[in-house]
Amino acid sequence: MRGSNGKGVVRRTKNGETVAKSINFGPLAYWVGFNLRMAQEAAFQAFSHRSQEIGESPGRFATLTLIARNPGISQTELSLANGRDKSSLTPVVEDLVRRGLIERKRMDSDRRTYRLNLTPAGKKTLALMTRCARRHERNLDRIIGLRDRKKFLQILKRIAAEME
């Protein structure tokens, strides 16, 4: 219940009261960019709290899934698929290796690139996170409504693909 509903914001006080304050959002109310950010932030926070319960960080989740589905993927391919800079991946991969969730081997044919693979422990952790993510998705689906879900997803994909 954090953030905008187009009219104002709702704040929770410590005693459990809620105070509504009317805020004028001006053009932000009908601009896609702002609302996209607010929605993503809210969804991310929710998933973040959820995945904290199982002791994992949300960023690890997409990474593990992509490695599981593309065994032997390189870090650069992974960073592209994940939409992050390759340098952001360095500490993540290090952490996952250290905790024994993935393994990383130099390629024979090209000794610059690594091949990443899940370990059995990694598969177990991924299964746990996937269940957690499915609950999160059900929550999102409830808000979006099944009828509009497909269209909504299509538009998101187009934005990711066609934005310059």
Q: CB nearer to DNA: give 2 or 151.
A: 2
Return the CA Rg of the chain. Answer: 20
Among positions 20, 30, 36, 45, the unique one binding DNA when judged by CB under 7 A: 45
Measure CA 24 to chain center.
30
123 binds, among a copy of itself, DNA, none (CB under 5 to 8 A by kind): none
Q: CB nearer to a copy of itself: give 30 or 106.
A: 30
Nearest CA among 147, 27, 15, 17 for reference residue 4: 27
72 binds, among a copy of itself, DNA, none (CB under 5 to 8 A by kind): none
Q: Is 3 helix (H, G, I), strand (E, B) or coil?
A: coil
Task: Answer whether 20's CB lies under 8 Å from 12's CB.
Answer: no
Q: CB nearer to DNA: give 16 or 145.
A: 16
For residues 141 and 44, give the distance between their C-alpha atoms in angstroms, rounded to a whole number: 15
With the C-alpha atoms ordered 70, 75, 77, 79, is the resulting torsion angle positive or negative?
positive
Using the rule CB under 7 A, is 112 a contact of DNA?
A: yes
Residues forming contacts to a copy of itself in the complex (CB under 8 A) are 1-6, 8-9, 11, 21, 23-28, 30-47, 62, 65-66, 68-70, 73, 77, 80-81, 83, 130, 133, 136-137, 139-141, 143-145, 148-149, 151-153, 155-164
